Amino acid sequence: MEIKIREALREDCQRLLDLVHELAVYERAPDEVTVTLQEFEDAGFGPHPVWKAFVAESQGKIQGFGLYYIRYSTWKGCRMYLEDLLVTEEMRGKGIGKLIFDRLIQEAVEKDFNGMTWQVLDWNEPAINFYKKYNAPLDGGWLNVALSKEQINVLAVNNDVSSR
């Protein structure tokens, strides 16, 4: 089985979104994916792209991907933030994840990023074990915090920030 790792193209976006949905099901949050195909394409291939991805292709079909964006840390500088790393369920255990992850590491070196960060769910033992092979330390000291677009809009109205 030949696996080709390459940069994602705009025409890959539908397949990538399909895989994002597969990941959401695996992570027990199937209804949390709300991005549209158009938003996804524009964010990756519009006039101001914010993400980049590498795909793993076998026999002309994308079987996995790693998607990242640049995160700026006031302490560390520019770092790669790995948003998603996924290999389809039927292709797991064949070394595809390692190929994608190694390509991401190569990208971090080429772009001279000051590091690479990502998150993993505390119950996702296969992923945790995969990252441990890279000697990546797990940091349990941080909590995830976020506001949705709807929450931001409500806060803006309630706090009258639009008139400032």
The residues assigned a catalytic role are 131
What are the DSSP calls for 31-47, one per residue?
T-----HHHHHHHHHSS
74: three-class secondary structure by DSSP: coil
- The one-letter code for the residue type at 146 is A
The β-bridge relationship of strands 77-87 and 61-73 is antiparallel
Q: Tell me the longest C-alpha to C-alpha distance in the chain.
A: 59
What's the CA dihedral at 103, 104, 109, 114 to 10 degrees? -170
107: three-class secondary structure by DSSP: helix
- The one-letter code for the residue type at 31 is D
The 8-class DSSP code of residue 148 comes to: -
